[in-house]
Amino acid sequence: MEDLKTSVKGQVLAIQDLPTLPGVLDEVTKLVENPETSTEEIANVIGKDQVLSAKVLKMVNSPIYGFPGRISSIQHGLVLLGFNVIRGIIISTSVFDMMVQAMQGLWEHSIGVATASNIVARRAGFDDPEEYAVAGLLHDLGKVVTAVQLPELHESILNTAKEKNLSYYKAEKHVLGFAHDRINAWLARHWHLPGNIREAMSRHHSPHMAELYKSTACVVHLGDFMVRLFEFGNSGDDQTAYLRPEAMKELGFKMSDLERCMDELADQLLDVSDMSF
């Protein structure tokens, strides 16, 4: 299994282009072509796409700019990169030509978790809820990378989940020996993403294990739980979600807090589902 891990890690980190879904890319392309567009408008649209968001954060946190690991907001990323670089990112992003249908569910799930994480962070009284939203948006990025770089393994994970009636997470462990949280950890470190985002990406299934940014991991864990409960989008399986009591405790949440968040999320998901994917 160690061999598979080494070879998979190499393939994962070698990823050159993460494709995205056509809808958001078209929208951003139009915005960027118009010189009147503000960075805020572009940030709002990019903030709905896990792949474009990841690309922006990867670039602005790269050592070339001189402040790796510092920027976790898309809006700040855009201001620091400037229009030319954003245009470059947009131009060099391709679209999923196959499996758009399969990917669509994951996109919906991710934006759902971004929305939910924002709600939970605010409820917990944290500053900068937008950063928790970014962490939520990127929490399943490893699954996109698997689909692109390791299509056969990805296929096999999906089949295993279906045949053995497992969660996608368990099926990954069955096939690979590890799961997307590990892949996320590799990517986040390789791309110099800030610690809070890295921790949420690698610890959203085990927030109690988080070391430095436990609260971010817990918020995203709760967000993930809520969105799966609503069966909004699809992150690779149709299993029931689990909720770690430690996460509730860490955030100081009672069931009533969770219920309030669920109500708010129900309203917001209606808006989100209007988005064209």
End-to-end Cα separation, the chain, in angstroms: 37
The residue with tokens 């962490």 is 135
Q: How many residues does the chain have?
A: 277
Residue 67 as a binder of other proteins (CB under 8 A): the answer is: yes
Q: How many CB atoms lie within 10 A of CB 176?
A: 20
> CA–CA separation, 126 vs 6, rounded Å?
38
Among candidate residues 265, 276, 275, 253, the one with its CA nearest the CA of residue 136:
265
Stretch that binds other proteins, among 67-75, 135-143, 159-167, 180-188 (CB under 8 A): 67-75
Stretch that binds other proteins, among 81-89, 99-107, 162-170, 227-235 (CB under 8 A): 81-89
Please, which residue, 54 or 80, has the CB nearer to other proteins? Answer: 80
How many residues belong to the site for other proteins (CB under 8 A)?
A: 16
Among candidate residues 197, 216, 187, 214, the one with its CA nearest the CA of residue 69:
197
Contacts of 164 (CB under 8 A, 6+ apart): 171, 174
Closest CB 30 distance from other proteins, rounded Å: 18
Convert residues 189-208 into a mask of x (bound to other proteins by CB under 8 A) and - (unbound). -----x--------------
**Window 11-50: residues binding other proteins (CB under 8 A):** 35, 39
Convert residues 146-185 into a mask of x (bound to other proteins by CB under 8 A) and - (unbound). ----------------------------------------
Query: What residues make contact with other proteins under the rule CB under 8 A?
Result: 35, 39, 65-67, 70-73, 76, 79-83, 194
